[in-house]
Amino acid sequence: VRALKMHGGGPAVVSGKPVDPVYREENLQLVEAGCSNLCKQIQNASQFGVPVVVCINRFSTDTDAELEVTRSEAIKAGAFAAVVSNHWAEGSKGGADLAEAVMEAVQQPRNFKFLYPLDMSITDKIKTIATKIYGAADIEVSPEVQTIIDGLTRDGMDKLPICMAKTHLSLSHDPSLKGAPTGFVVPIRDIRPSVGAGFLFPLLGPIRTRPGLPTRPAFIDIDLDSETGEIYGLF
């Protein structure tokens, strides 16, 4: 519900600063406006030909009216089910209704399909994701990025699927564009192969990436001495 309020025009949430009271108080107008983002997510998932189940995580600051607005809008947008899940407060018991909805959904007829064929060009695959999933009007590929794409194609990597690297704060590449924006142009800043995983990942706008895990991640050697409370294996 808080996320919907932000997508509905709520004030920015800034790390290290108190959350605005609007996120702790009932505001049906913001929730309803923010449901444009939820509805777009439902439409996106429906493109794959499977029933969509929406899990509405309930927290202590959410009101029954806010949860009902969210549930109702999700059903209107085509969700097979929209279920309030209270596992935050009740653990597995609070998620029982959600589990039952998922079990019912998997019994429904479905016609699964991918968003694009793998033999589509790299540029066209990126554009398909940007326009059909994000709502963009087009993509912008610089000459430098086009050179990289040409090289990947020559090396036979053009048949790999695409995994976009972008902000999680917006459907677009721009974290300030909330709701369900349309008509924007997505800048492709770079594109890199992840050969072991088997995909290409374009970088959209000012996004940073993290290194992947090695064959033996460092956490394997980190442990806690239950008697002394001492953590060892840190570096």
The rounded distance, in Å, linking the Cα atoms of 162 and 198 is 9
Three-state DSSP class for 200? strand
**At 66, phi and psi to the nearest 5?**
-65, -40
What pLDDT sits at residue 211? 77
Q: Which residue has the higher pLDDT, 189 or 15?
A: 189
Nearest to 40 by CA among 4, 9, 81: 4
Answer for the pair 68, 4: CB distance below 8 angstroms, yes or no. Answer: no
Residues 6+ positions from 49 with CB-CB distance below 8 Å: 110, 111, 112, 113
Nearest to 152 by CA among 115, 194, 112, 184: 194
Per-residue DSSP letter, 21 = G
State the CB neighbour count (10 A cutoff) for residue 192.
14
What pLDDT sits at residue 214? 77
Strand order in the sheet with 199-204: 138-141, 185-194, 199-204
Summarize pLDDT for 171-216 with one digit per residue, the tens. 999 999 999 999 999 999 999 999 888 999 999 988 888 877 777 8
Q: In the chain, where do the E strands start and end?
A: 53-57, 81-85, 138-141, 185-194, 199-204, 223-224, 231-232
The rounded distance, in Å, linking the Cα atoms of 140 and 204 is 10
Q: Which residue has the higher pLDDT, 10 or 215?
A: 10
The rounded distance, in Å, linking the Cα atoms of 97 and 94 is 7
Cα–Cα distances (Å) from 126 to 31, 141, 144, in that order, read 31, 10, 16
Mean pLDDT of the chain: 95
**Which whole number is the average pLDDT over 221-234?**
90
Answer for the pair 146, 159: CB distance below 8 angstroms, yes or no. Answer: no
The rounded distance, in Å, linking the Cα atoms of 162 and 145 is 15
